[in-house]
Amino acid sequence: METKVYSTYYELSENAAKEIIDIVKKKPSAVLCLASGETPKLTCQKLVEKAKLENIDFSKIVFIGLDEWVGIPPDNEGSCHFFFQTQLFKHLNFSEQRIHLFNGMADDLTKECGKMDTVIFDHGGIDLMLVGIGMNGHVGFNEPGASFLNYSHVMDLDSVTTSVGQKYFKETMDLKRGITLGLKHLVESKKVLMLANGERKARIIKAALQGRMGNLVPASIVQTIPHATVMLDKEAASLLENNSGCL
Ligand code: GLP
């Protein structure tokens, strides 16, 4: 695991977008998995800007959505579907048949997980996974206690997630479960970027990167992933020991 600290969220986002562009340039049929949420929002915006400027083709990219709220329809503005649709798909030339997002409304969620795992396996695995970190250390919806050995699965949401998650919705929602890629996907992904910004993430970043590795803080699995880069702004990195300063 490597940690990079940027002086601003803007710089962090520009660099994360550049990492994605570099992969797409090298492998136009790459399998990309991105998180939704506040953290990667500016990365997506920068990605769209750079991709348009450089005329980058996304038509062969296989896109995997990291997670989804169970029971939330895709047209709800708080859904992960809605995020990708508005932040990425409507701006870049992704092929619809190569976009794979969990359907949080599916009757058979186990089947939905199996379908996602098969897509990933059939395409030779994920080339790049870009994830955020929840206030409780979750990755996707791998909540505290999640097994490090899981592929896609459904998980009951922790109370921190159900309350923090309200920020994505216009009305108060009854959030109970999430459907998500597993931590085993993260370990097996060829490249991992974990992003965090802002002072509110400093405590959990310290726990994930320098605390005891274990599933009480799912993001701590990143300590075991040599090909992972944790990209932080200086606020999110502010509690780290041996923090050698900004790039
Ligand atoms: C959400 C999502 C994650 C996301 C994380 C952090 O609930 N399930 O995929 O990365 O929490 O979200 P944010 O970037 O909004 O802080």
What is the tens place of the pLDDT at every residue in 7-16? 999 999 999 9
Q: Whose CA is nearest to atom 8 of ligand 1?
A: 140
Average pLDDT rounded to a whole number, residues 119-140: 98
Specify whether 138 is catalytic. yes
SS3 39: coil
Q: What is the pLDDT of residue 247?
A: 81
SS3 154: strand
What is the tens place of the pLDDT at every residue in 220-237? 999 999 999 999 999 999
How far is the centre of ligand 1, averaged over its atoms, from the C-alpha of 220 (Å)? Answer: 15
Q: Which residues have any ligand 1 atom within 6 Å of their CB?
A: 35, 37-39, 66-67, 131-132, 134, 140-141, 161, 165
What is the tens place of the pLDDT at every residue in 35-55? 999 999 999 999 999 999 999
Tell me how far the alpha carbon of residue 88 is from its chain's centroid: 14
Q: Whose CA is nearest to atom 3 of ligand 1?
A: 140
Tell me how far the alpha carbon of residue 246 is from its chain's centroid: 23
Q: What is the pLDDT of residue 27?
A: 98
Average model confidence (pLDDT) across the chain = 97
Q: What is the pLDDT of residue 195?
A: 98
SS3 148: coil
Q: What is the pLDDT of residue 230?
A: 98
How far is the centre of ligand 1, averaged over its atoms, from the C-alpha of 88 (Å)? Answer: 17
How far is the centre of ligand 1, averaged over its atoms, from the C-alpha of 245 (Å)? Answer: 25
Q: How many CB atoms lie within 10 A of CB 140?
A: 31
What is the tens place of the pLDDT at every residue in 56-80? 999 999 999 999 999 999 999 999 9
Report in angstroms the alpha-carbon separations of 152 from 133, 179, 239.
Answer: 18, 7, 32
What is the tens place of the pLDDT at every residue in 153-212? 999 999 999 999 999 999 999 999 999 999 999 999 999 999 999 999 999 999 999 999
Specify whether 67 is catalytic. yes
What gap in Å lies between CA 228 and CA 87, rounded to an integer? Answer: 24
User: What percentage of the chain reaches a pLDDT higher than 90?
Assistant: 98
Q: The whole model's pTM is what?
A: 0.97
Tell me how far the alpha carbon of residue 187 is from its chain's centroid: 13
Substitution candidate for ligand 1 out of 34, 38, 39 with most atoms within 8 A of CB: 39
Q: Which atom of ligand 1 is nearest to the CA of 131?
A: 10
Specify whether 127 is catalytic. no
How far is the centre of ligand 1, averaged over its atoms, from the C-alpha of 222 (Å)? Answer: 16
Band the pLDDT of 243: cuts 50, 70, 90. confident
Q: What is the pLDDT of residue 242?
A: 81
Q: What is the pLDDT of residue 246?
A: 78
Q: What is the pLDDT of residue 18?
A: 98
